[in-house]
Amino acid sequence: MSELKVSVSGVRGIWGDSLTLESLMDYTVAFGEYIRRRGGKTVLIGRDARPTGAMITAYTASILNAMGIDVTDCGIVPTPTVLYGVRKHGYDGGLIITASHNPVEWNALKYVKAGGVFTGEKDIAEIKGYLGIREGAETMYDGIGKYAVDNSILASHVRAVADYLDAGKIIAKKYKVLVDPVNSAGGESSRLLLEALGCGYKIINGEINGRFERGTEPTPENLRHMEKAVRGFSADIGFATDPDADRLVVVDEKGCVLSEEMTLALGVESVLSDPATVKGDVVVNMSTSRMAEDIAERYGVRAYRSKVGEANVVEGIEEHHALIGG
C-alpha cells in the first residue's frame, strides 16, 4: 500500500490504495472543522477532469453539508480559478479536487483558506489536529448546509485576466496559438481567454475527458508532438498545461519546447520590464533556477527564496511585500 502524502500541497494518494473513502472522510471533516473554528459557513469546490473527481467532489461536498457548511461547486476549472473565486466572492474557504501533475490514478484534496490562498504549514498542522473527530461533527437536521452549482466563476476569472492584459494590443496582432490542456481543466479556460483576446487558436487534447492522452506533466519529453503541431499550424506560440492548469510550458514559434523554468522567468521579466509597473521584489522557491534572481538583479530588486510549495511562496510574497513570485 502506498503512503498518503500530506503537505502544504494537499492530501494526495492513489485512489483505492492510500486515498480511500475513510481517508477522504477524515481529512474533509478536519478541514470542515478548520473552517467552522473560524466562524466559516461557505466553501467553494472545484476539480480537474480525472475520473475520480466527480465522485470525490460529491462525497466531500456531502460531508461538508452534514457539518452545516454551504458548498458551491464551480465544476472542472483551473486551480487558480478556485483561488480567484474564494477571494472574489468572499467564500470562507475552498477545496480543490486535483492531484495536479500526478498520474491519473492519483487524486487529492487541496485546501484554500479565506482570502483565496492555500493553507500553509501552520494551517495544515491545525487541520491534522482535527483528525479523528467524526463523532459529533454533523449538525442537526435543520442545520445542514446547502449545495449549489455556479458555472459562472470560470468566465468571471477569464474576464478578470483579459482586463488585466492590454487586450487591444493583443487583438491587433491577431496571434495564432496552439494549446494542449491534456484533456482537463485548461481546455475551456484557454478557449474563453483566447477568444477574448481575438486570437486564432487550435486546441489539441482538448476533449475534457480526464484520459490525459499525453503524460500529465508538461515536460519536453511529454510535449514532443507540440514541436510539429506548432509548425504545422503556423502558430506564433504554443502553451501546454498540467491537468489542473497551474503549470504552464511555452513552445516558441519554431516548435521549441521551453523548460518549465522559463515560464516563471518570462513572467518576472515581463512584469519588471513594464514601465507602468512600480518595481518590487521577487519570491521563488528553493528548487527554482537562478534565472529569476538574475532578472531581479538586473532591475535592481531583491529575490527571496522560500520552501517548495505554492503556499510557502505566497507566504514569502506576503512577508516580503513582493511584486511577483512562483
What topology is assigned to 5-151 in CATH?
Answer: Alpha-D-Glucose-1,6-Bisphosphate; Chain A, domain 3 (3.40.120)
What topology is assigned to 267-325 in CATH?
Answer: Alpha-D-Glucose-1,6-Bisphosphate; Chain A, domain 3 (3.40.120)
Instruction: List pLDDT tens digits, range 198-217.
Output: 999 999 999 999 999 899 99
Residue type at position 54 = A
pTM of the model: 0.94
Which helix (DSSP H) or strand (DSSP E) does residue 239 occupy? Answer: strand 237-241
How open is the CA angle 310-48-167, to the nearest 5 degrees?
75
| Across 175-195, average pLDDT | 97
| Across 100-123, average pLDDT | 96
pLDDT of residue 278: 86
Instruction: List pLDDT tens digits, range 220-255.
Output: 999 999 999 999 999 999 999 999 999 999 999 999
Does pLDDT of 279 surpass 90? no
Evaluate whether 5-151 and 267-325 have a shared fold: yes
Q: How confident is the model at residue 133 (pLDDT cuts 50, 70, 90)?
A: confident
Does pLDDT of 143 surpass 90? yes
| Across 244-273, average pLDDT | 94
What is the pLDDT of the chain when averaged over all its residues? 95
Neighbours of 78 (CB within 10 A): 29
> For this structure, is 100 an active site residue?
yes
Distance CA 178, CA 240 (A): 9
CA dihedral over 73, 215, 241, 11, signed as positive or negative: positive
Does pLDDT of 39 surpass 90? yes
Distances (CA, A) of 50 to 1, 32, 54, 247: 21, 24, 8, 16
**φ and ψ of 7, to 5 deg:** -160, -175
Q: Which of 100, 184, 189, 306 is catalytic?
A: 100
Asked if 147 and 71 count as a contact pair (C-beta separation under 8 A), the reply is: yes
Does pLDDT of 132 surpass 90? no
Domain 165-258 CATH superfamily: Alpha-D-Glucose-1,6-Bisphosphate, subunit A, domain 3 (3.40.120.10)
pLDDT of residue 111: 98
Does pLDDT of 1 surpass 80? no
pLDDT of residue 97: 98
